[in-house]
Chain A
Amino acid sequence: MWILGISKSHNGAVALIHNGKVISAIQAERISRIKRQAIELENDKTLVSECVIYCLNQAGIKHSDLQSISICTPWDVAHIENEKLFNLIGGTPKNYKKTYYVPHHYAHAEYILHYSNLSKGIILVIDGSGSKEKDRKLFNITEKVDTGCMSYVDRSGKETISAYSFDGKEVSLIYRFSLSADKNNKVNINGNGFLQSIGHYWRWASNYCCGSHSEAGKVMGLAAFGSPEVHKDLKILSLNDEGFLEVNYKKLNDNFNYPNFFGKDLTHNSHYSDIAAMVQKDTEDVLIKILNILIKKHPSETLYYSGGVALNMIANEKIIRSNLFKNVILNGSVEDNGTSIGAALAAYNSQTDSRSVAPLTDYYGKVYSDNEILKSITKFPYKYELLTEDNKYSVISSLIFENNVVGWFQGRSEFGPRALGNRSILANPKSQYTKYILDLHIKQRDRYRPYSPVVLEEYAKEYFDIEVNSPVMMTGGKVLNNNFPAITHRGNSSRVQTLSEKDNKVFYNLIKSFYKLSGFPIILNTSFNLPGEPIVENPTDALNSFRNGALQYLCIGNYLVTRG
């Protein structure tokens, strides 16, 4: 049973599943090369069909093999006639069953359940905003609502927080926050377009501190430099004991009137870092409070947590350390791209009344053959040599050990926002110059932003104070010694990727080789992209990035490309 999932969203994506197993998934940005590329569906025929072909080719199937298409959107839901839909995806299925329309938060929920052992638990979904309440009647996959559901829903609302209880089989809504999205409604009167939403509070902070809505990650990095004490009395974000959330935009407007509209580097700027620290602390406090309220009503050992706000690894760490739950399940693609997979899984569940599970991964992209790689390399004027598999590890680890920064392109591309060692830039975390070289020359980032380490899973606790493994970089912990300046953020914090051999053998072997050479099993791992661009997808993207950027070495498959 082949099901295509589409995230019609500001972070558009297409996924393909077969009998409940994720076969392939691609974010539209990786194809269009425009960061956070939206899929509007009706207006994006070429892009959508390219994404679909990408997925079908990986599975070795054709459009005619597809049986269902499942669509998820945070925008207006509009049913599409089959003929029009098939035209958009670029081909016609033979035995087509149905088009599914899936509520946004529900798709997030189905996706996170996929990475579990289906143990009973609470599913929490928090993002900017999801489905519109007016569209509920248009969904043909509907949510079961628990009789005791805490509900703050306006007819003109958009879901911003949802929680579900999962009994091992069924998912039931237990909490929903979905206040009006109408900008003239009294709850939004001071919002200047921002909603009563934790995700929108971060969008406000991103806009205020970085001059753009989509820089929440920068705000998180900045927060470490600020003090949450400075604005602690403002209480901008609050949640009462009944689970009613408030973002007090009036107070924000009254107190903060110097937005960083030019997006200037905020290093050593306490005005913005204190605001970032306030937003971070508010978020952590409210998350813990929501979870306390939910767990009181629905005692559970397991938390499944998804939605864009779940990208906040500091808050995730707080949740894990709160010990409210024995298990906290987090996946990598918690943003809207993940709803393409979630929507397809929801359709599978609806058709078969069963749920499939899989080990946590984000390697859902394409593998490029040696021929494809070589064909791309020869189009560029660079020196290259073919390395043997074993030689590759020793050559690249030596380069990194000698403080070179290396582009690393291997295997299947990652689906989510994190480069997990297949489309990465790698460097020595011990050198005092590494971060400067990355910030000023290669990645051209603001100085306050951190870089992440990848550590061999079996040694993780020797080097980091972490509670659980973090295979998709969703949690972090303190760096336990001060030998790694390039990956140690303010306050010794770090967003860690723990790596096992079964997660990614090639990357594992590289780090193991580096360990033998250096005496420490850690490498700095940052995404392979130029400033403002999406992560590279194919060999030509990688070589274009190499040409336009400042890397001296690129290992692509078994080829080492150098500037010469």
Chain B
Amino acid sequence: MLAKEKFNQKIFLDKLGLNISNDNFEKSVKILNVLCSHNPFKTQSFVQVFFNAWFGKILNMIDNNNLNDAGARMRSLYILFKYNKAFNKLLIIYLDKIVKNKINQNLQKEENAVNFSMLSSYFYEVKNDYEAERMVNSCFQEIKKNLINSSIPSTTWLLVQKSLRNIRNKKKAEELLTEFLQTIIKY
């Protein structure tokens, strides 16, 4: 229940900042929920504050070569929006280090599809269309693997949308999608 009179927005914004700086993702989402519930008219600006603070935190992690944690946070954020220009810049900084230094990422099975999609975005941005397409393909293969005997979660569709955007040849993207759909729709 919302006790509007007692709600102090500043305190919660401070808590949000603190939890992000302590790398507490779940708690930061909970605090964002409280902020948005109490002041729905400011939802978009709270969400912006949330993302900006996380982007700052991730940049800090990258600067400190804490690439495992930075990668984990980026994968968490990647599936929260369709497009974010600032995030894409961050993605290049992070994946530049990973790709150029050939760093192995410790990924859970379900993180592979997100990672491939992020890589497709990176290769698209650095104009390596061949690799971008290859990463989209790998992303779709991962999705297919994970879908056996399960329904299709909305995150999957988001990953497909985001990945397809990274294929510059739109005809090719449509062909790849059709091929993907032919195998996936039965699920």
Contacts and interface: CB of A to CB of B under 8 A. Distances in A.
- The answer to whether A and B belong to the same complex is yes
Interface of A: 189-190, 192-194, 204, 207-208, 211-213, 253-254, 257-259, 261-269, 432-433, 436-437, 439-441, 444, 446-447, 531, 549-552, 563
A49 B39 CA distance: 36
Given A444-B82, A550-B170, A193 B154 contact: no
A123 B36 CA distance: 37
B154 A211 contact: no
B43 interface: yes
A192 B41 contact: yes
Chain A, interface SS category: loop
B40 A207 contact: yes
8 contacts: A192-B2, A257-B2, A258-B33, A259-B40, A268-B153, A437-B178, A446-B157, A552-B171
B32 A261 contact: yes
Nearest to B162: A444
Given A266-B154, A436-B181, A261 B171 contact: no
A254 B177 CA distance: 43
Given A261-B32, A262-B80, A563 B177 contact: no
Interface in B115-173: 151, 153-155, 157-158, 160-161, 164-165, 170-171, 173
List the 5 closest pairs (A to B, CB-CB), nearest first.
Answer: A265-B154, A550-B170, A261-B36, A193-B41, A253-B2
Interface string B54-89: 000000000000000000000000001110000000
A357 to B, nearest CB: 40
Which among B33, B40, B47, B153 has the greatest number of chain A C-beta atoms within 10 A?
A: B40
B38 interface: yes
B24 interface: no
B46 interface: yes
Contacts of A441: 161, 164, 170, 173-174, 177
B185 interface: yes
B100 interface: no
A259 B174 CA distance: 34
A213 B41 CA distance: 8
A254 B1 contact: yes
A238 to B, nearest CB: 21
Contact of B40 (A204, A265, A549, A550): A204
Given A192-B2, A268-B151, 10 more contacts: A212-B44, A259-B33, A261-B46, A265-B157, A268-B153, A439-B161, A440-B161, A441-B174, A444-B165, A447-B154
A267 B157 contact: yes
Interface of B: 1-2, 4, 32-33, 36-41, 43-44, 46-47, 80-82, 151, 153-155, 157-158, 160-161, 164-165, 170-171, 173-174, 177-178, 181, 185
Contact of A531 (B43, B46, B82, B155): B82
B43 A444 contact: no
Contacts, number: 102
Q: Which of A259, A261, A531 has the largest number of chain B CB atoms within 10 A? A: A261
A531 B82 CA distance: 10
A258 B29 CA distance: 11
Contacts of A433: 178, 181
Contacts of B32: 261
B177 A437 contact: yes
B40 A447 contact: no
A207 B38 CA distance: 12
Contact of B43 (A212, A268, A436, A447): A212
Given A207-B40, A253-B37, A259-B43, A439 B1 contact: no
A550 B173 contact: yes
Given A190-B4, A254-B1, A550-B170, A208 B178 contact: no
A192 B33 contact: no
A563 B38 contact: no
Given A264-B80, A447-B157, A440 B1 contact: no
Contacts of B2: 192, 253-254, 257
Given A212-B43, A261-B46, A550-B174, A432 B185 contact: yes
A211 B44 contact: yes
A189 B158 CA distance: 38
Contacts of A258: 33
Contacts of A257: 2, 33, 37
B33 A265 contact: no
B154 A269 contact: yes
A259 B171 contact: no
A360 B104 CA distance: 63
Contacts of A189: 4
A437 B155 CA distance: 17
B177 A261 contact: no
A440 B154 contact: no
